[in-house]
Structure 1
Amino acid sequence: MNTVSLSGCRRQPEQLVVEKVSHHSIELSWRNGESDHTGPTESWTRFAVEKMDSKTHTYDTIYVGYSTQHVVDGLEPSTLYKFRVRITTPSGECRLTPTLSVSTTREPLSGKHLHQAVNRNDEEELTRVLQSGMVNVNVYDKLGFTPLMVAAQKGFGRIVHKLIEHGADIHMKNGSGKDCLMLACYAGHLDIVKYLRRFGATWQSRDMGGCTPLHWAADGGHLSVIAYMIQDGSELDARDSVSHWTPLMRVSAVSGNESVASLLIRAGADVNVRDKDGKTPLMVAVLNNHKELVELLLDSGADHHVKNEFGSGAAEMARAFGRTSLACWKKGRFCKLTSTSR
């Protein structure tokens, strides 16, 4: 755009007219009796639309041509703009219309505004968007999360309540198959977990890999959430559909969290359960070098004589992967894993 000045021009009594206004565009028109387009272009009156820079208060040329209308787009919503038209006749005479001030309209409410309100934990703005009736409460964001999923994951309890009051679907899932209950369980938001349960969220829900909310709670490591889930009837030994791992197996494979494993075991989780390759939680803990968990599993009745489908037990795995330091302290004596088979 070119910055222009008033030099050589006089004021023109004609005025700009606003034809249409939206949140991102303004359509302007003007009339001039000299705009005869029957001859060569050299005999035509030329028009230049100029827009004022709000910071410098100078004008930039945004259109030059022979039309008597122009649409200015790419504008910000709810913003004041100032325009004028520079009229140049074939003889070189220059005239300016009076400056026109016009504001763009407010941007229509959309899913973007709903997600912005949720991410900012802005209950007032959320209420405004929801009460407008213009936005689907279950609209996905670019990552495939609904507003309820985001609020549940972030622990925004009042936002969760408001969304459910306005019909948010607690059973919807993101691209990996996780629902809001799984996300809340993993993040450790017990109050939200309980609230979602009141409205029908189920422990039997599965993601794309077949994991349940308890699998994700075990990964998150929040004991209060896991304890509530166990008390509320969540299945302890549910298996995923990929490796056939139970929540205890997930602990053995991922975090090695003794406290989580102990809580699951005390509730009755099977310490000798096998995955699709015949591995037990003890074997998985050995492979992942979770020493304290290995001790806990042995003390809790894990059978180190069990072999996987390839004929290897926990002791063989410990030696093969250099886990020779894995051992347990039991009844006042130091007892290493042995390879004694049954």
Structure 2
Amino acid sequence: MDIRLHKAAEADDVAAVQQLLVTGADIEARDASGATALLVATRGNRVKAAQALIEAGADVNARDDIQDSTYLYAGARGYLEILQLALAHGADLGSVNRYGGTALIPASERGHVEAVETLIKAGVAVDHINRLGWTALLEAIILSDGGPRHVRIVELLITAGANVNIADREGVTPLQHARGRDYDKIAALLEKAGAK
């Protein structure tokens, strides 16, 4: 297994990445975790190496053994520059992670406001439901601290047309979750949007 390209990507060594590609390194070669060099660069938020690999034709949708791709991982982690590169180079907006969620769902949960804005603008479905039965809106409430970043994300999702009444599997609505956690600002946004 030749992982020299992976090591160059991890080190954010663009010169080494380019030299390895010129001398015939396989841009889609996998390491022990099934990751390509691009995914290794993405995990470390190594923007320069990721850009060099993407511009050389690396697949932004290639998945590792746990179903992460550069696009999904960058979105989930809020790695904005790599996310934008992936979107500009053919990211599959409908692709889902191992939880059956789009990149928008973990981005919303983790409070990555800019990533959420970017994904919404790119056209990711705002009402997609993952295997847990949760939408981005539900995760932005259930798995958040209710602070300013999550208030902003809820606002962005509502503005983007998210259905504020899609309940979880137990029938608990976003508004009920927000009230139950005393997230008053989020509850107010939901009420204004017609949440029940």
What TM-score, normalized to structure 1? 0.51
Q: CA deviation at 1:295?
A: 4.1
CA distance in structure 2 between the aligned counterparts of 1:110 and 1:174, rounded to whole angstroms:
16
Q: CA deviation at 1:272?
A: 0.8
Structure with greater Cα Rg:
1
CA distance in structure 1 between the aligned counterparts of 2:156 and 2:35, rounded to whole angstroms:
31
Q: CA RMSD, aligned part only?
A: 2.2
Please name the residue that 2:163 is paired with: 270
What TM-score, normalized to structure 2? 0.84
Identify the match of residue 130 of structure 1 among 3, 13, 21: 21
Could you report, residue by residue, the CA deviation over 1:94-133 in whole angstroms, capped at 9, with x for unpaired residues?
xxxxxxxxxxxxxxx921x222211111112222222221
CA distance in structure 2 between the aligned counterparts of 1:164 and 1:148, rounded to whole angstroms:
7
CA distance in structure 1 between the aligned counterparts of 2:182 and 2:46, rounded to whole angstroms:
34
Change (3 A) 1:290 1:141: farther
Contact 2:10–2:46 (Cα < 8 Å) also in 1: no
Q: Does 1:117 align with 2:4?
A: no
Unaligned runs of 5+ in 1: 1-108, 304-342
Q: CA deviation at 1:144?
A: 3.5
CA distance in structure 2 between the aligned counterparts of 1:174 and 1:267, rounded to whole angstroms:
31
Please name the residue that 2:99 is paired with: 209
Identify the match of residue 111 of structure 2 among 201, 215, 221: 221
Percent of aligned positions with the same letter in both sequences? 30
Q: CA deviation at 1:159?
A: 1.3
CA distance in structure 1 between the aligned counterparts of 2:50 and 2:167, rounded to whole angstroms:
38
Identify the match of residue 135 of structure 2 among 237, 240, 246: 246
Amino acid at match of 1:199: H
Amino acid at match of 2:157: L
Q: CA deviation at 1:285?
A: 3.4
Could you report, residue by residue, the CA deviation over 1:183-213 in whole angstroms, capped at 9, with x for unpaired residues?
1112223332222122211211112221001
Q: How does 1:1-342 map to 2 (within 5 A)?
A: 110-111=2-3, 113-133=4-24, 135-240=25-130, 242-255=131-144, 256=146, 257-286=150-179, 289=181, 291-292=183-184, 293-303=186-196
Q: Which has the higher helix share?
A: 2
Task: State the number of aligned residues.
Answer: 191
Please name the residue that 1:79 is paired with: none
Q: CA deviation at 1:286?
A: 4.6
Change (3 A) 1:163 1:204: same
CA distance in structure 1 between the aligned counterparts of 2:178 and 2:28, rounded to whole angstroms:
40
Could you report, residue by residue, the CA deviation over 1:55-85 in whole angstroms, capped at 9, with x for unpaired residues?
xxxxxxxxxxxxxxxxxxxxxxxxxxxxxxx
Contact 1:252–1:290 (Cα < 8 Å) also in 2: no
Amino acid at match of 2:134: W
Could you report, residue by residue, the CA deviation over 1:243-277 in whole angstroms, capped at 9, with x for unpaired residues?
22111011112113211111111222111112333
Contact 2:12–2:47 (Cα < 8 Å) also in 1: no
Change (3 A) 1:269 1:202: same
Unaligned runs of 5+ in 2: none
Instruction: Show structure 1 runs of 4+ deviating over 6 A.
Output: none
CA distance in structure 2 between the aligned counterparts of 1:216 and 1:137, rounded to whole angstroms:
28
Contact 1:218–1:250 (Cα < 8 Å) also in 2: yes
Question: RCO greater where, 1 or 2, for CA within 8 Å and sep 6 or more?
Answer: 2
- Aligned to 2:163, the other structure's residue is in SS state coil
CA distance in structure 1 between the aligned counterparts of 2:34 and 2:173, rounded to whole angstroms:
35
Amino acid at match of 1:140: R
CA distance in structure 2 between the aligned counterparts of 1:233 and 1:207, rounded to whole angstroms:
17
Q: CA deviation at 1:215?
A: 1.0
CA distance in structure 2 between the aligned counterparts of 1:209 and 1:121, rounded to whole angstroms:
30
Please name the residue that 1:330 is paired with: none
CA distance in structure 2 between the aligned counterparts of 1:179 and 1:285, rounded to whole angstroms:
32
